[in-house]
Structure 1
């Protein structure tokens, strides 16, 4: 599988893939970490991370106003300055407004200290305007609705706005990104016009396969693509010893134990758990590509190497046999 045409760089249309095709066509860089997720990241380090992704063939970049309250978008834009815009595809999100310390919306294009939900049509348009300014670009390729917990409000305001933006050619594709399956599945079924993609965060992983029960079948039924994200479930599948976290909280002893057993099985065939975890979603029917968050160049190398790693079928069978939520 691979990113569908609307999510590929314009300059790649109709071109034969090069030697980096396994990375270019299936993996994107998640830019929440360079927005100071969990720990501060220096601007130079953020730029180096994006630069390493470009070196390794990554051409799809995923960000959002919520990531660092605008900092992630700002840093991604700075890192891509001077890069031919037609050679990369950028995804960002709407549905949240960046606010200052007093809870007031920041000036359009600014950064703040928090975000609040806004699923109105006007909120979508203002959010996109701010994202374009922070990114330093005149367009985004994919625009997601971010964490729409109030599905009715999304169906009334935000989602029609996204579809209109796509119909008008302002964005090339639209979707919904969220860590909860049911709201996204409902939006897939009830959208007046089909979404292009959905991005389940942390729900198509070695430890949590719950999207496979309802969301993914709903997406397949309407021809909606799936980009998997959150493949490490916040850390435990990247390194269960150094980052024993699951969904932004301390992982349970059972989750850590399962991840450690998976890591042992991967190590036995010379592969890091993080690389195998990044590859897993591509085995699932309907998943077209994977976005992996990275804070450093070394973390980029892990998932870039995973694109071409030889993962034995026996290992997949062993990991499938390990208990997992489903």
Structure 2
């Protein structure tokens, strides 16, 4: 791979008050415990809480030696001061900033400058063009995508060539924009959220990962628990859990109980078994979780469990499995 990242990272959306407000002391305890657990890759975005997640990360990371951690953030939304928080779904009690969609080259540079100020660091390692996809922008997404390829992508490629960042890509919840970016630009890595999991993997396996392997482009898997449903939560893809997903999750949980496997461990280890996947970045706002994630990644899972997933049609034959 042209870029390598730590196997386990920390996803920053929950610390932007996703779904519910997180007290500041709890947020800082969660980040401190992540560092203590040995996690050294942190991903955030101006979108998460309208700058709140970045500011919370900055309280920890600005005091750490910069060469001891990997940091990624995103461009595509500029933040401007506002009288009231937007509280854009799924976030609540955000900072009082207004989001302005901007996928231009200048917008990308300005977004990075603002992120660095909120984070209190001098550089980002990886920059993702955020949410340039149909689920976020509806039919207009292709116009935004064209702007991103002609603007932000060009600026980020130049920053990579100048050594200002290590790499760039898209941070999206859908596969199609990643495929198009491979055709139109020279990305290094994609942050693909919720599209390579125990519940949803077919499209990525069929249409994206083979080309990523050919181009030496890596994948960061965000949302390995599909917004929490695979970890016992009450959300799927930032919303209520559909009945078919609930049934499939119960099927997975029953197999986990049969083989003594924590489904969260299976979810994380499944992602990393694919050779194009560089990192998995579950998010949390619970201080105990980071150490748990480290343990889950190291947990022993019997081969019979994986075989049962194939026999029951949960995983296809061509999906790489952990050894």
What TM-score do the two structures reach when normalised by structure 2? 0.86
Greater displacement, 316-325 / 34-43: 316-325
Are 1:162 and 2:160 counterparts? no
Partner of 1:172: 166
> Equivalent residues in 2 for 1:28-107 (5 A)?
28-101=9-82
- Looking at structure 2, the residues matched to 103 and 94 of structure 1 have their Cα atoms a distance apart, in angstroms, of 22
Aligned to 1:198: 190
**C-alpha displacement of 1:287:** 1.2
Partner of 2:272: 282
Figure out how many residues of one structure are paired with residues of the other and give that number: 298
1:146 to 118, 125, 130: 130
Give the conservation status (yes or no) of the 8 Å contact 1:34–1:72: yes
Deviation at 1:313, TM superposition (A): 1.3
Question: In structure 1, the residue corresponding to 2:195 is in which secondary structure?
Answer: coil
Q: Which residue of 2 aligns with 1:118?
A: 102
2:304 matched residue in structure 1: 314
Local SS of the residue matching 1:293: coil
Q: CA deviation at 1:5?
A: 7.8
Aligned to 1:189: 183
Equivalent residue in structure 2 for 1:26, among 7, 12, 16: 7
Distance in 2 (alpha carbons) for counterparts of 1:26 and 1:288 = 6
Q: Distance in 2 between matches of 1:7 and 1:98?
A: 30
Tell me how far 1:321 sits from its aligned partner. Answer: 4.0
The Cα offsets for residues 98-141 of structure 1, whole Å up to 9 and x where unpaired, read as 24447999xxxx95344232111111011000000000000011
Choose from 193, 207, 210 the match for 2:199.
Answer: 207
> Structure 1 pair 31/212, CA: closer, same or farther in 2 (3 Å)?
same
Give the Cα separation in 1 of the matches to 2:289 and 2:85.
Answer: 36
Query: Which secondary structure state, in structure 2, belongs to the residue aligned with residue 92 of structure 1?
Result: strand
Q: Does 2:198 correspond to 1:217?
A: no
Shift of 1:232: 1.0
Distance in 1 between the 2:165 and 2:80 partners? 25
C-alpha deviation, 1:231, in angstroms? 0.7
RMSD: 2.3
C-alpha contact (below 8 Å) 1:200/1:211 kept by paired residues: no
**1:73, CA displacement in angstroms?**
0.5
2:91 counterpart residue number? none
Show the counterpart of 1:231: 224
Alignment of structure 1 residues 246-265 onto 2, 5 Å: 246-265=236-255
SS at match of 1:199: strand
Aligned equivalents of 2:148 and 2:81: distance in 1? 24
What is the DSSP-based 3-state SS (H/G/I as helix, E as strand, rest coil) of the residue aligned with 1:250? coil
Residues 70 and 112, structure 1, Cα contact 8 Å, conserved in 2: no
Distance of 1:274 and 1:113 partners within structure 2: 35
1:7–1:142: 8 Å Cα contact kept in structure 2?
no
Stretches of structure 2 lacking an aligned partner (at least 5 in a row): 87-93, 134-143, 317-323
Q: Is the 8 A contact 1:206 1:319 kept in 2?
A: no
- Determine if contact 2:85/2:95 at 8 Å carries over to the other structure: no
